[in-house]
Amino acid sequence: DPQAKEIHKGLAGVVVDTTSISKVDPDTNSLLYRGYPVQDLAARVSFEEVAYLLWHGELPTPDELQAQNATERLQRDLDPDVRDAILALPTTAHPMDVVRTAVSVLGATDPDAENLDPDALQAASLRLFAQLPAIVALDQRRRLDLPEVAPRADLGWCEHLLYLTFGQVPDAVVVDAFSVSMTLYAEHSFNASTFTARVIASTLSDLYSAVTGAVGALKGPLHGGANEAVMRTFAEIGTADDAAGWLADRLAAKGKVMGFGHRVYKHGDSRVPTMREALVRMVDHTGRTELMALYAALEDAMAERTGILPNLDYPAGPAYHLMGFETATFTPLFVASRVTGWTAHIMEQLASNALIRPLSEYVGPERREVPERP
């Protein structure tokens, strides 16, 4: 059968399973969560409602939202074992290693972690969602030698993450831009980290193990690590006037430009226009027009020389910078959002599970004799 020998390197173009969580349409540059356009969700509903939608398939009624929020807010106190584990790590640890360890510890402290019933999976998903802001905030603050901020139960999830990080609730324009980014980052079909989570879930391992693995997959600069790489690129370039020259050198050296290109979208990432608008609001708010000039100069030079367009990480990186996050914190912020999509996919995988176990074509030595050992 010649079909069986066809190699799909990187699984490019391969349809592995069905999903009803999100639809990525590269022809129309659109992204739907459970049927709703993501830009409309970003404009009209809270991130907690997006989380509910991804998990349950429908937007919550006011009562359903109230119940979810109440349960989430009760679980905002950082698990003491997680705090100890984070504080035991050097502040030089990669922030994604800290998040990965924290998620793993949360699994070890959940007595119900091995329970794969739908209710238990939902409870574990909400627990991760409730704990991640404290994890991300604590790690940024300890790196800056600042004391931990105690959680509050009177703030929405996005406001609360910002409060835990900065010790105060920022202006509404910052909260709104941050909330937009969380909604846009939440879910994107079978991306590398989500697929990782589904592979782990498919062995009937536990939800925390699947999310721990997903964090590892997201860390890489070809995936989630790109948002912080964008900021490092800007720092390396300097000013808008230097962008074209920097790019020429970069492409001549066959280097990748972080924040550009996408495996699925070839005519632009559906989420970029919405995130770019949020970035522009942050630029207006902070007066940092030189950053926007550099952003535009690199985008234009890249389009002119390669035709390759930005992905979500390109506007998200500088937007997080203007919100006051350290560059090293950007990918952990991606985790805090994407945990909703990962856990929705873990639940979908387990609802009609098949062990994920593809084939490979062997190209090593032919059968041979093991030599006699003296």
Residues that bind ligand SDX (CB under 6 A): 10, 188, 191, 221-224, 226, 256-264, 308, 311-313
CA within 13 Å, CB half, 106: 30
Q: Is 152 or 266 the residue whose CB approaches ligand SDX more closely?
A: 266
Q: Is 194 or 202 the residue whose CB approaches ligand SDX more closely?
A: 194
| H helix or E strand, kind and range, residue 37 | strand 36-37
As given in the structure block, the two tokens for residue 48 are 């907690």
Least distance from ligand SDX to the Cβ atom of residue 65, Å:
25
Q: What is the rounded CA–CA span in Å between residue 271 and residue 284? A: 20
Least distance from ligand SDX to the Cβ atom of residue 77, Å:
30
Q: Is 190 or 325 the residue whose CB approaches ligand SDX more closely?
A: 190
Whether 313 is catalytic: yes
Least distance from ligand SDX to the Cβ atom of residue 26, Å:
10
Q: What is the rounded CA–CA span in Å between residue 101 and residue 360? A: 31
Q: What is the rounded CA–CA span in Å between residue 300 and residue 363? A: 43
Least distance from ligand SDX to the Cβ atom of residue 61, Å:
29
Q: Is 60 or 95 the residue whose CB approaches ligand SDX more closely?
A: 95
Q: What is the rounded CA–CA span in Å between residue 279 and residue 317? A: 9
Q: What is the rounded CA–CA span in Å between residue 132 and residue 161? A: 9
As given in the structure block, the two tokens for residue 207 are 């939800």
Return the DSSP state at 24: E
CB 259 within 8 A of CB 314: yes
As given in the structure block, the two tokens for residue 277 are 């608008």
Intra-chain end-to-end CA distance of the chain, in Å: 44
CA within 13 Å, CB half, 152: 16
Q: Is 259 or 318 the residue whose CB approaches ligand SDX more closely?
A: 259
Least distance from ligand SDX to the Cβ atom of residue 281, Å:
22
As given in the structure block, the two tokens for residue 323 are 């919100």
Looking at beta carbons, which residue is closest to ligand SDX? 261
Nearest to 230 by CA among 317, 300, 145, 310: 317
Q: Is 105 or 278 the residue whose CB approaches ligand SDX more closely?
A: 278
Q: Which of 79, 188, 206, 262 is catalytic?
A: 262
Q: Is 173 or 192 the residue whose CB approaches ligand SDX more closely?
A: 192
Least distance from ligand SDX to the Cβ atom of residue 253, Å:
11
Nearest to 246 by CA among 293, 286, 297: 297
Whether 262 is catalytic: yes
Least distance from ligand SDX to the Cβ atom of residue 313, Å:
5
Residue 189 Ramachandran class (φ > 0 left, ψ -120 to 50 alpha, else beta): left
Q: Which of 79, 139, 206, 313 is catalytic?
A: 313
The runs of H, that is alpha helices, within the chain are 38-44, 47-56, 62-74, 80-88, 95-108, 118-143, 157-166, 172-185, 192-202, 207-219, 226-237, 243-252, 272-286, 289-306, 313-323, 330-351
* Catalytic site positions: 262, 313
